């Protein structure tokens, strides 16, 4: 993810806030959260990945947060 | 909580609260608890949190989208580094997020509607 951040910066493209948060001091939050998120969104479930992505996007919108 | 996710949440909690950093784990744990109390609409006990931290934690827990540069500057002026603020923000988000997860799972298993309690 850090490499992608650097590539975006080199192209003068803004790096999203969430990507910054996940990249900075990843041992504190980004790494364990990404593992959790991967399991929750893409792990075995009665819901499809798309449905779970939709749930997350809906909750983010109610929190007035970009997803 | 489903056993499948217990390990993930436990590792996330330990990382945020226990990882080496600018702030003490005791402070991060207190922030986590305050955020959880705010989010559950319980009357939070002021407890151990400094006033400027308490105000920030309450905003992150209830209206995170309302946080502004001024909120961060207030913490900086109170002596907190950006790394310390990062740790406290994550701790507050952890507390707020986990209480929502717990309430959702409680409702799933037939718990009382929290809105009826207040």
With H, G, I as helix, E, B as strand and everything else as coil, classify residue B4: helix
For chain A, the residue count is 67
> Is this model's pTM higher than 0.90 or not?
no
A21 closest CA partner among B68, B13, B16: B16
Task: Spell out which chain B residues touch chain A, with contact meaning CB-CB distance below 8 angstroms.
Answer: 4-5, 8-9, 11-12, 15-16, 19, 21, 64-65, 83, 86-87, 90
Q: Are B57 and B31 in contact (CB under 8 A)?
A: yes
| pLDDT in the model for residue B118 | 45
Chain A: closest CA distance from residue B52 (Å): 23
Angle between helices B25-39 and B3-18 (to 10 degrees): 130
Query: Closest to A35 (Cβ–Cβ): which among B8, B19, B65?
Result: B8
B84 closest CA partner among B11, B13, B15, B24: B24
Give the least confident one: A26-30, B69-73, B104-108.
Answer: B104-108
Q: Are A41 and A49 in contact (CB under 8 A)?
A: yes
B65 to A39: CB separation less than 8 angstroms, yes or no: no
**For residues B101-116, average pLDDT:** 74
B5 to A36: CB separation less than 8 angstroms, yes or no: yes
CA–CA separation, B35 and B55 (whole Å)? 10
Neighbouring CB atoms inside 10 A of B36's CB total 21
B21 to A28: CB separation less than 8 angstroms, yes or no: yes
| pLDDT in the model for residue B45 | 59
Angle between helices B51-63 and B82-108 (to 10 degrees): 50
**For residues A63-67, average pLDDT:** 77
Chain A: closest CA distance from residue B79 (Å): 21
A52 closest CA partner among A64, A36, A63: A36
| A4-33 pLDDT tens trace | 767 776 676 777 888 889 999 999 999 999
Provide ipTM, 2 decimals.
0.81
Mean of all residue pLDDT scores within chain B: 88
CA–CA separation, A43 and B16 (whole Å)? 23
| B12-66 pLDDT tens trace | 999 999 999 999 999 999 999 999 998 887 665 556 788 889 999 999 999 999 9
B65 to A63: CB separation less than 8 angstroms, yes or no: yes
Instruction: Dump the DSSP string for B96-114.
Output: HHHHHHHHHHHHHTTPPPG
Query: Closest to A33 (Cβ–Cβ): which among B4, B12, B65?
Result: B12
């Amino acid at each position: 993810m850090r490499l992608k951040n650097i590539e975006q910066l080199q192209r003068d493209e803004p790096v999203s806030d969430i990507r910054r948060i996940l990249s900075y001091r990843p041992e504190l939050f980004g790494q364990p959260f990404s593992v959790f998120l991967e399991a929750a969104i893409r792990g075995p479930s009665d819901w499809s990945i798309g449905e779970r992505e939709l749930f997350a996007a809906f909750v983010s919108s109610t929190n007035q947060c970009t997803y | 909580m489903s056993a499948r996710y217990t390990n993930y949440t436990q590792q996330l909690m330990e990382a945020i609260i226990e990882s080496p950093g600018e702030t003490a784990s005791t402070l991060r744990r207190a922030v986590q608890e305050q955020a959880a109390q705010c989010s559950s609409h319980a009357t939070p006990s002021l407890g151990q949190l400094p006033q400027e931290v308490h105000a920030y934690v309450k905003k992150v827990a209830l209206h995170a989208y309302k946080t502004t540069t001024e909120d961060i500057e207030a913490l900086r002026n109170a002596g907190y580094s950006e790394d310390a603020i990062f740790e406290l923000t994550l701790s507050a988000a952890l507390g707020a997020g986990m209480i929502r997860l717990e309430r959702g799972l409680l409702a799933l298993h037939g718990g009382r509607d929290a809105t009826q309690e207040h």
